[in-house]
Amino acid sequence: EDETSELMHVHPDLVDMTKAVSHRVVTKFSIISGGYRDELLPSAMYGDPRKATPEKGRLIMEQAEEELIELINQLQQGKLPIIRE
């Protein structure tokens, strides 16, 4: 959803929402690896891009921009970035 929203914001011409399908995977493991990835994620994506909107993309990118600016400011001051949980 996030990545699709971001692309809808910056390059809407590249997004064909008629091909968007939900593909939620529920596993007891947080890491999907090995040959199981293709079986679990046949569409090469995870989540529900049908919930994507250009507005969500704009908001996500604005937040990322603010955080990147803060990181650059901290690095310029010789500070290590703060780890947020």
Tens of pLDDT along 16-28? 999 988 866 555 5
Residue 62 lies in domain? 2-76
Strand partners, 47: 23
13 is a domain residue? yes
46 is a domain residue? yes
84 is a domain residue? no
pTM of the model: 0.66
Tens of pLDDT along 31-77? 555 555 556 556 656 678 999 999 999 999 999 999 999 989 989 99
34 is a domain residue? yes
Predicted local distance difference test score (pLDDT) of residue 21: 84
Domain count, the chain: 1
Which has the closest alpha carbon to 5: 39, 41, 52? Answer: 52
83 is a domain residue? no
19 is a domain residue? yes
Element (H, E) at 13: none
